[in-house]
Amino acid sequence: MWYRGREMRPLFFFAALAALASTPSAGLATEDYPSRPVRIIVPVSPGGITDIVARVAADYMTARSGQPVVVENRTGAGGNIGVEAVVRAAPDGTTLGLASTSQIAINPFTGTHMGFDPLKELVPVAPIAEAPQFLIVNARLPAKTLTEFIAYAKQNPGKLNYVSLGPGSTMSLASDQFVRLARVDIVPVQYRGTAPGITDLVAGNVQMISIGIAPVLGFVQSGSLRVLAAGAAKRLPYLPDVPTAAEAGLPGYEMSTWFALFAPQGTPRAIVDRLNGFMRELVADPAAVKRLDDLHIDPMSMSADEFAAFVRSEAVKWERIIRQAGVKPQ
């Protein structure tokens, strides 16, 4: 059994995928793991959600194990530099990676010069949390609901814009998926970062964004921006009045970014299972869950085998979305 957010669901997976979860290594004493300091490499800059989730995990592991667990940020190349550092690390449990959907399930299909394959050279250890995408518009638009916004966009083809961070970003792919499903003509405007895109959205220079709620929540609460729908399977406890996309009239739009722990391929299965146990305890711990809630992200919990299957299914999904969007590897 596994749960995303706070809902239990069954997950069926092929036995062949279990190999992704690592191979056992005989003779290694892992009962006292970790017996040495551990570092968690984060492939993005400090301060973002990925980095904060990594620090929540590091703090929890330090408290549970008594060993220092530190976060090391290694940025560059869309996250590939940090992920490659994990791929090349010794598979002994002392170097781990905290990565998101972008680095694991999207980058392999948008870049041709990675030099490694995270889907083959990393062990999926455990998910920790996910951030659903929200369809958000400037509140000065006449559309009050998702259905009304779709109708408004169809009445104004090519006249509306959405925030893009480039053709391979989660935000842009999610927006492009919305445009295809809704069959509307909304033009992407590319920004060098999320903050300037949000600034232009609030100013009305662009009209739509697909994003996790945390960076825009203040503008939503002030009335500058309007949330039309959540790309989640069910309503979320922190925004109970926001319908899911399916409830709002756009079935099939379920988009989220997940944050998870990975290890180098070859890490002993006993270490993988112990790490998985730490993360499953974390998302059941009230203090840790509150830190996730404060970020408006939902805890996730799966066994290592379940998570390996989930990662594979996510790669299939995002590869399809990337191809439909016409994104060419660079």
pLDDT tens for each residue of 206-224: 999 999 898 899 999 999 9
> Given this model, what pLDDT does residue 27 score?
36
- Residue at 242 is within a domain: no
Domain match, 103 and 7 both: yes
pLDDT tens for each residue of 263-282: 999 999 999 999 999 999 99
DSSP 77-132: GGGHHHHHHHHTS-SSSSEEEEEEHIIIIIHHHH-S--SS-HHHHEEEEEEEEEEE
State the chain's mean pLDDT as an integer.
89
- Residue at 247 is within a domain: no
pTM: 0.82
Domain match, 27 and 84 both: yes
Domain match, 112 and 195 both: no
Pair of tokens at residue 70: 């530190």
How many domains does one find in the chain? 2
Orientation angle between helical segments 49-65 and 269-282, nearest 10 degrees: 110
Please report, for the domain that includes residue 287, its CATH number: 3.40.190.150
Domain match, 21 and 120 both: yes
> Given this model, what pLDDT does residue 330 score?
66
Please report, for the domain that includes residue 184, its CATH number: 3.40.190.10
User: Which pLDDT band holds residue 326 (cuts at 50, 70, 90)?
Assistant: confident
Domain that holds residue 49: 2-130+258-325
Domain match, 198 and 139 both: yes
Pairing of strands 186-190, 160-164: parallel
Domain match, 14 and 91 both: yes
Query: From residue 308, how far is each of 46, 65, 182, 313 by CA, in Å?
Result: 27, 25, 32, 9
Mean pLDDT in residue range 163-175: 87
Asked if pLDDT for residue 26 goes beyond 80, the answer is no
User: Which pLDDT band holds residue 194 (cuts at 50, 70, 90)?
Assistant: confident
What CA–CA distance (Å, rounded) separates 282 from 277?
Answer: 9
Domain match, 54 and 125 both: yes
Least trusted range by pLDDT, from 55-69, 107-121, 191-205, 215-229:
107-121
| C-alpha angle 33-35-37 in degrees, rounded to nearest 5 | 110
Domain match, 63 and 139 both: no
Residue that terminates a domain, selected from 230, 249, 278:
230
User: Which pLDDT band holds residue 4 (cuts at 50, 70, 90)?
Assistant: low
Return the percentage of the chain with pLDDT > 90, whole number: 72
Domain match, 164 and 86 both: no
pLDDT tens for each residue of 82-122: 999 999 999 999 999 999 999 999 999 987 678 899 999 99
Tell the burial category of 241 from Cβ atoms under 10 Å away from its Cβ (0-12, 13-18, 19+). exposed
Domain match, 18 and 115 both: yes
Domain match, 55 and 168 both: no
Mean pLDDT in residue range 305-321: 96
> Given this model, what pLDDT does residue 196 score?
92
Domain match, 182 and 90 both: no
- Residue at 70 is within a domain: yes
